[in-house]
Structure 1
Amino acid sequence: MGLEAIAARTVEEHLPRGIHETEEEIKRQWFVGSIDQGTTSSRFLIFNGEGDPVASHQIEFENLYPRSGWHEHEPMELLSSVEECIDKAMGKFVALGHSKADIRSIGITNQRETTVVWDTTTGEPICNAIVWPDTRTKALVRELKSRKSADTLTDLCGLPLSTYPSSVKLMWLLQNDGAVKQAYEEGRLAFGTVDSWLIYKLNGGAQAEKPIHVTDSTNASRTMFMNLHTLQYDDKLLEFFGIDRTKIHLPKIVPSSDAECFGRIASGVLEGVSIAGCLGDQSSALVGQCGFSPGQAKNTYGTGCFLLYNVGDKPVISKYGLLATVAYDFGGGRKPVYALEGSIAVAGAGVKFLMNNLGFVDESRLITELAESVDDNGGVVFVTAFSGLFAPYWIDDAKGTLFGITQHTSKGHIARATLEATCYQTKAILDAMEKDSGHKLESLSVDGGLSNSDLCMQTQADISGIRVDRPAMRETTALGAAIAAGLATGVWNELADLKEVNQEGRRIFKPQMDRAVAEKLFVKWEQAVEMSRGWVKVGEDEGGSDCES
């Protein structure tokens, strides 16, 4: 259903409240806002009590690449983009006949691992944020891996040493940025991921009577500072990265859903509205897909892919190349829930490559049509290892490689092979998750731009041999943050209340390919992966990603 149709329906459903309405009917008339702060854009969406978006606004902002391998954001621009999105979306909301009083609370979801540091005295950022894919820490990570205690880290925090976690980004800043180092030595340095920065500033920052500096456990689990078992900072981890907690202001770790911990908006059109939910973006997408039972999984097909698998209330430390992370922690006496996570570096980015670098099509959505112009891949396999391969392979010396090209090969074959590359890597992650958990996945919930391709989703079902479940409303990341906030403020009381949220119009893709044929194709993919190894030698290409080997 389109946004205008949803909005029209919502206006009809949310007429002035009558005194004879039931509690359930009143709850449907409450709205929850959701800040979705991503790598390339910020958004603010407003959902009704049935999980439908009724108003939204999105703003793209500048990504900075000052040197090869460096990726930065200007922290104040992240904040201003969020504030502008709130203003514009609220304007649309009011135009539908609603008011601020109808907004029960707001949630925040954000890009993970991106590191922000600021001065607690002024409340201003000290330098640009280092964004999660930034690889300037490659040499530092190699040095850290050589330490005797490096092998013990994963058991504590669930993550392997790589360029991704916030820990190595902060460590690099302390070693290379004089202003950051000075603030640290003087006890003025505040550290946070993007959620902490936004919550701090939206509550008034340094000018607030009581500045709020918090994070939730899903974001804290991406720093390598938090013990995955206790959900608190771990002295052994801090010591390994050379962090003296007496010299730095670390955000307090709190549950992902809480009516008080995250404070209230200090100014603007939502002044006084409670911030009641906070989730890292991939955890938020799992919540938005209502993946609340062990064994449920989601895959977000964005620029890359992030696959999360609910493993229940005890963390599972992977033996097969996956990450252990917090799925969500809704507090209120509920146990935290954990997930296994696998990431794929190139998904939609492969489509962009064909469009922007090779000129195959003018619009990314046309790649599916091009791929459908042929019956199969014509024997072509594309290992899209533009920056090495991530989970579960962790091959950092691979480069993107096309195999099986003949004079018969057309653009359609390469387009199909590009879509298939994401599906093969997803199957490899699913196989690793099955080995780690001891359970075979029955279905995979999907979202993200590439999930719009019916061909890609059918291919995923065929290659993986499981059902692929695609919702009609695919704003699941933003919905997850709204759910976290709504649970804390009475829009929903328990997870069972959410069983009908975002269920209408889902499409199921069932495996249609013979399993023997599918396995043969996957063996060919695995052969191509092995043949893509060894292109990069140490010190030869410092612009790539530092992956686990």
Structure 2
Amino acid sequence: MTKKYILGIDGGSQSSKVVIFDTDGRVVCEASQALQPLYTPEPGVVEHPDDDLYDSIVAAASRVMKEFRGDPADIIGVGLCTIRCCRALTRQDGTLVEPVQSWMDERLARPYEHTNDEVAYVTTTSGYLMGRLTGQLTDTVANYIGPWPMDVQTWDWFSDQETFDSFNVSRDMLYRVQMPGDVGGYVNERFSAVTGIPQGLPVVHTANDKAAEALGAGLRDETTGLVSLGTYVTGMVVGNEYVADSASYFSNFASEPHRYIYECGGIRRGMWTVSWLRNLLGDEIRAGAAAAGVSGDEHLNTLAAQVAAGSDGLLCVLDWLAPPTEPHRKGMFVGFDERHGYAHMYRAILEGIAFTMKHNMMAMEAERQISIETLVLSGGGSYSDLCMQIFADVFGIPVVRNEVRNAAGLGAAICVAVSCGVYPSFGDASHAMVRREARFEPNPRNVTLYDGLREVSAELRAQTDAILLRTRRILLDHTEANRT
């Protein structure tokens, strides 16, 4: 029997990744294309410049098809997964009118404002990209979280007209929505010509990127948790019922019809902070990495692994991007002395991320009356053995890393495998295509240490809020005085 393949597209916040899997979920070849820096022409406006989301997919897909040594005719479908909570404004033909508004754009916190008559449709990144890949203006229902007239409980638009109208988007400005695992369209001539992906292949809907990541990480019940280490770091478990009024988490669409992701509070610009530190250090890191014959991240991991657990008392507060409701918040390192260098700073960032996620996931566990027995890490941080061990020690439970680190891309492939009949259900596909690679057990001595430091870390914001609020008022008053 001829071997078959699946192409998974994962359009992320910092790069677009395209992976060809076999139907057992093993990576055959892959490519990625970094996104351009976000365009921020004024406070509150954060956009993906030009047509970057589409162009980056074209670049990555072109490279992966050139690398693929199999027969393109044996690729059975394409799974499309993209970043969530963004807004794309398109013309009648599905092309962009304006740059895509990032999830960090303050306009996403408000209902849509129609200021440009060229705009025919208001859609998500997944709807926009499905239109470019296929010519069909369809979208996955499971990416409509945030400023959309979507009822997460019914998986359909709000039936109450007053509620629907409060989002300021008419029904004829919305794409037709479908379920994860549905075929949204077929690769059109233009996308095929610029990438080499065969024309006519089905392009299958998934969900928002975090939900596709949960599916690709192998989450099937509430005994297994996931921490997604991306630009936005969050913690998740899966379940079957919608919960409207939870205090410590929210119910989000899963990448499987009528299932849910329960998602705790997260960290904005979480793993981005690692990139910030690496770029800040610049030549020093590059020189050290070159001398050791490794990447900058590997060099930092090697140095930080030599630092004792607890970073010799250095703590990190991960508020490099403050929430809109608390604009005074700032990222901080607390506790410097003469022993500390950039390896301590790097380790303190990883420990700070783990402390925050442990705190947030403990609250979710208590409210849901569950106990997470195993934690999966996915995303860039999962490549680091140091990061894996820190999470095992902070959470006090085994932490596992999967063979496929690009869990969102694998989640997209799982949706294709079910859609195309390779497996009869999402559960069967997950069981066959997701495999564990490594398991990290907690070190009891570090568990005790980290429990104490995590409690201190959780109190830092309350201790510094007054100072940061006062600083913000002084700076705002100074800016206003200079204007006048």
Q: TM-score range by the shorter chain?
A: 0.7 to 0.9
In structure 2, which of residues 177, 185, 188 is the aligned counterpart of residue 266 of structure 1? 188
Q: Is the counterpart of residue 127 in structure 1 residue 122 in structure 2?
A: no
How far 1:119 sits from its partner (Å)? 1.6
Does the 8 A contact of 2:400 with 2:436 survive in 1?
no
Q: Is the counterpart of residue 339 in structure 1 residue 262 in structure 2?
A: yes
Aligned residues: 453
| Higher mean C-alpha displacement, 219-228 vs 358-367 | 358-367
Relative to structure 1, the CA distance from residue 222 to residue 480 in structure 2 (aligned partners, 3 Å threshold; closer, same or farther) is farther
Match of residue 298 from structure 2: 365
In structure 1, which of residues 73, 88, 95 is the aligned counterpart of residue 48 of structure 2? 73
How far 1:464 sits from its partner (Å)? 1.5
Does the 8 A contact of 1:400 with 1:532 survive in 2?
no
Q: Tell me the alpha carbon deviations over residues 415-467 of structure 1, each in whole angstroms, 9 at most, x when there is no partner.
A: 32121110101101211211221112111111111122222221111111222
Match of residue 506 from structure 1: 438
Does the 8 A contact of 2:207 with 2:253 survive in 1?
no
Relative to structure 1, the CA distance from residue 252 to residue 288 in structure 2 (aligned partners, 3 Å threshold; closer, same or farther) is same
Q: Is the counterpart of residue 227 in structure 1 residue 151 in structure 2?
A: yes
Q: Is the counterpart of residue 83 in structure 1 residue 14 in structure 2?
A: no
In structure 1, which of residues 58, 61, 84 is the aligned counterpart of residue 35 of structure 2? 61
- Corresponding letter in the other structure for 1:343: G
Relative to structure 1, the CA distance from residue 242 to residue 367 in structure 2 (aligned partners, 3 Å threshold; closer, same or farther) is same
- Superposed CA RMSD in Å reads 2.6
Mapped partners of 1:419, 1:82: distance in 2? 30
Mapped partners of 2:474, 2:14: distance in 1? 30
How far 1:250 sits from its partner (Å)? 0.7
Q: Is the counterpart of residue 441 in structure 1 residue 372 in structure 2?
A: yes
In structure 2, which of residues 238, 247, 251 is the aligned counterpart of residue 320 of structure 1? 247
Q: How does 1:233-252 map to 2 (within 5 A)?
A: 233-234=157-158, 235-245=161-171, 248-252=172-176
Mapped partners of 1:422, 1:33: distance in 2? 32
Mapped partners of 1:397, 1:352: distance in 2? 23
Does the 8 A contact of 2:211 with 2:261 survive in 1?
no
How far 1:395 sits from its partner (Å)? 4.9
Q: Any stretches of 5+ residues in structure 2 without a counterpart?
A: 287-295, 478-484
Q: Tell me the alpha carbon deviations over residues 479-531 of structure 1, each in whole angstroms, 9 at most, x when there is no partner.
A: 10010111010122222243142315333333533654332111111122322
Does the 8 A contact of 2:22 with 2:28 survive in 1?
yes
| Higher mean C-alpha displacement, 341-350 vs 405-414 | 405-414
Mapped partners of 2:340, 2:416: distance in 1? 51
- Corresponding letter in the other structure for 1:509: E
- Corresponding letter in the other structure for 2:268: A
Relative to structure 1, the CA distance from residue 541 to residue 237 in structure 2 (aligned partners, 3 Å threshold; closer, same or farther) is farther
Relative to structure 1, the CA distance from residue 467 to residue 529 in structure 2 (aligned partners, 3 Å threshold; closer, same or farther) is farther
Q: Is the counterpart of residue 399 in structure 1 residue 324 in structure 2?
A: no
Does the 8 A contact of 1:286 with 1:298 survive in 2?
yes
Match of residue 144 from structure 1: none
Q: How does 1:152-171 map to 2 (within 5 A)?
A: 163=108, 168=110, 171=112
Relative to structure 1, the CA distance from residue 521 to residue 45 in structure 2 (aligned partners, 3 Å threshold; closer, same or farther) is same
Mapped partners of 2:80, 2:50: distance in 1? 16
Match of residue 463 from structure 1: 394
Q: How does 1:343-492 map to 2 (within 5 A)?
A: 343-359=266-282, 361-362=285-286, 363-376=296-309, 377-388=311-322, 395-492=326-423
**SS of structure 1 residue aligned to 2:56:** helix
Q: Is the counterpart of residue 299 in structure 1 residue 223 in structure 2?
A: no
TM-score by length of 1: 0.76
Match of residue 293 from structure 2: none
Does the 8 A contact of 2:31 with 2:63 survive in 1?
yes
How far 1:236 sits from its partner (Å)? 4.2
**SS of structure 1 residue aligned to 2:272:** helix
Q: Tell me the alpha carbon deviations over residues 195-243 of structure 1, each in whole angstroms, 9 at most, x when there is no partner.
A: 1011112223xxxxxxx22222320134442111111112444322333
Q: Is the counterpart of residue 519 in structure 1 residue 451 in structure 2?
A: yes
**SS of structure 2 residue aligned to 1:112:** coil
Match of residue 281 from structure 1: 209
Q: Tell me the alpha carbon deviations over residues 143-200 of structure 1, each in whole angstroms, 9 at most, x when there is no partner.
A: xxxxxxxxxxxxxxxxxxxx56xxx2x62x42xxx42xx24xxxx6211111101111
Match of residue 290 from structure 1: 218
Match of residue 158 from structure 1: none
Relative to structure 1, the CA distance from residue 322 to residue 107 in structure 2 (aligned partners, 3 Å threshold; closer, same or farther) is same
Report the identity percentage: 21
Mapped partners of 2:476, 2:412: distance in 1? 38
**SS of structure 1 residue aligned to 2:444:** coil
**SS of structure 2 residue aligned to 1:343:** coil
Relative to structure 1, the CA distance from residue 284 to residue 421 in structure 2 (aligned partners, 3 Å threshold; closer, same or farther) is same
Relative to structure 1, the CA distance from residue 231 to residue 99 in structure 2 (aligned partners, 3 Å threshold; closer, same or farther) is same
- Corresponding letter in the other structure for 2:279: N
Does the 8 A contact of 1:398 with 1:532 survive in 2?
no
Does the 8 A contact of 1:276 with 1:486 survive in 2?
no
Mapped partners of 2:274, 2:385: distance in 1? 15
**SS of structure 1 residue aligned to 2:104:** coil
More helix by share: 2
Relative to structure 1, the CA distance from residue 430 to residue 51 in structure 2 (aligned partners, 3 Å threshold; closer, same or farther) is same
TM-score by length of 2: 0.86
Mapped partners of 2:72, 2:363: distance in 1? 47
Match of residue 32 from structure 1: 6
